[in-house]
Amino acid sequence: MPQTRSNDARRKSNSGRGGKGAATQTATRASIPISEADLATYRLVQAQFDAQKKAAKEAEDAGKELLDAEDDPSTDQGGRPRKKRKSATQPVQPVLSEGEDEIASRLQPVNAIDRTLDAEMSHEEDEEPPNAGDDEGLHMDLDGMDVDEVDIDTDSDVLEGNANNEISFVAADIVQSNVDPRSRSRSVAPKTPGRMALGSKKQVMSTLNAANTSKVVEKDFSPRTLKLALASKSHVRTRTVFDEPFPRNNKISRINFAWTTIKESAFASEDVEVRQAFKRATDNINLKSKLMKFTLYGRTGLVSSIISKAREKVRAYYGLSGDPECVKKDVEWLLKSSHFVYGDINLKERTVDKMKPFGAQLIIDIIEAQWFPSTSRSKLDLETTNRIYEKRDLPLNVILLVVTAIEHALKEWSTNGRKATQITFSEDTARLSYERHLRHWKFFESQMKAWPAWWRKTVLEQIL
């Protein structure tokens, strides 16, 4: 046995110095035929790789297998909320219970965050896209499906409640520029069968491109499919509030976000026609594309509506009137360190109540006007309002989206103290603002764990 180990060691030593002889020996070994067992293992592994590739390719098809889940749909979204009393626009009275008084007394001043916010806002301005004020189309094309969602442009003619829900697409020029210019100069009358086939294909692609760059309106759907489209358009507003206010900015994520919204709307419905429309859309790429585009209009419409309400109210709430230069200085101070989100703002003295973060009454007023109006409640927001009633909790995204809209409306006063200069609400800039206010919120949450839940409850109780 010891001799065997010595021989092994000697062979290893020789293999290290083998040079040309070792290479020859290796080549000889490499020529040995593969055994049946090794070949079977290789084929098994290769089959697994092929299966994984096939599964990945079919992942975007929203899956026919998911239709089996229709046998166990979600229950109704809940009854119509009770009629609420019109809330007063008075600020929250500082009457606290013993527990709430303890929370307020333990909440630390936030002088430290002022410097952090100044640095973050400066950093945000540095990172802001050079064309942040311009319309930026998000052209998405995956496996023949195209979903265009332009940045939210509240200066356009898009009005919520339009008879046909018509929305113009600023991204149309961007998409059109992607068309091969050579296809425009070639004759559409082919001389040979081969060219005829090619020409027919180009005509189909041209038709698809034209459809992808046009707006989608209610009359584009059959009555059955329109039910699904409207349900999805409403549900995407709820998902914006409860799930993802800003989905990731890439085509796969956008398509998945839109299609998941449509699928959830179909499964939650007890209407047979809605489910039939969904089943038909899974096999119709053109219809699927229209549904996804129409669904995303709901998200754009929600943010546009919040922006409009913020624009209507900031001037009166913050007292933006008088000498234009003074107004510009007031706005500059309000935006600095996010002073505008605090309660008890005194522009003359340049003071706020640091014990009332996110306590500006304007935040509460806009939330009430958007989701809890005393009259003419939007049907598109009914699902969101019902869920808030059911949970008896105000989603954090409601507060942060409103704060983001107020900040945007104030920035429109920063260049001209006489009147607001409307700025396009771009997706990238809005995301930066939202994420900064989210960090602001989490800072207070780290200082006092009970404060966030208590404040959301307080705001909701005042509204209801």
The CB-side HSE value for 430 (13 A sphere, CA atoms) comes to 27
At residue 463, the pLDDT reads 87
At residue 204, the pLDDT reads 44
At residue 17, the pLDDT reads 46
What pTM was estimated for this model as a whole?
A: 0.59
Is 336 part of a structural domain of the chain? yes
Q: What is the pLDDT along the chain (464 residues), one digit of tens a residue?
A: 444 444 444 444 444 444 444 444 444 444 456 777 777 777 776 777 677 667 666 655 644 454 444 444 444 444 444 444 444 444 444 444 555 455 545 545 444 445 555 555 444 444 443 333 333 333 333 444 555 443 344 444 333 433 333 333 333 333 333 444 343 333 344 444 444 344 444 554 444 455 455 889 999 999 999 999 999 999 999 999 998 888 877 788 888 999 999 999 999 998 999 999 999 999 999 999 999 999 999 988 999 999 999 999 999 999 998 888 999 999 999 999 999 999 999 999 999 998 899 999 999 999 999 999 877 667 788 899 999 988 888 999 999 999 999 999 999 998 877 788 888 878 888 889 999 999 999 998 888 888 888 888 889 988 88
Is 168 part of a structural domain of the chain? no
Is 315 part of a structural domain of the chain? yes
Is 381 part of a structural domain of the chain? yes
Is 371 part of a structural domain of the chain? yes
- In terms of C-beta density within 10 A (0-12 exposed, 13-18 middle, 19 or more buried), how is residue 149 classed? buried
Is 399 part of a structural domain of the chain? yes
| CA–CA–CA angle 337, 240, 124 (5° rounding) | 30
At residue 449, the pLDDT reads 83
| Inter-residue long-range contacts of 213-217, CB under 8 Å, 24+ positions, other chains counted | 213/148, 213/169, 213/171, 213/172, 213/175, 213/176, 214/169, 214/172, 215/166, 215/167, 215/168, 215/169, 216/167, 216/290, 216/293, 216/294, 216/297, 217/164, 217/165, 217/166
Residues of the domain holding 330:
300-463
Q: For the chain, what is the domain count?
A: 1
Is 76 part of a structural domain of the chain? no
The CB-side HSE value for 167 (13 A sphere, CA atoms) comes to 26
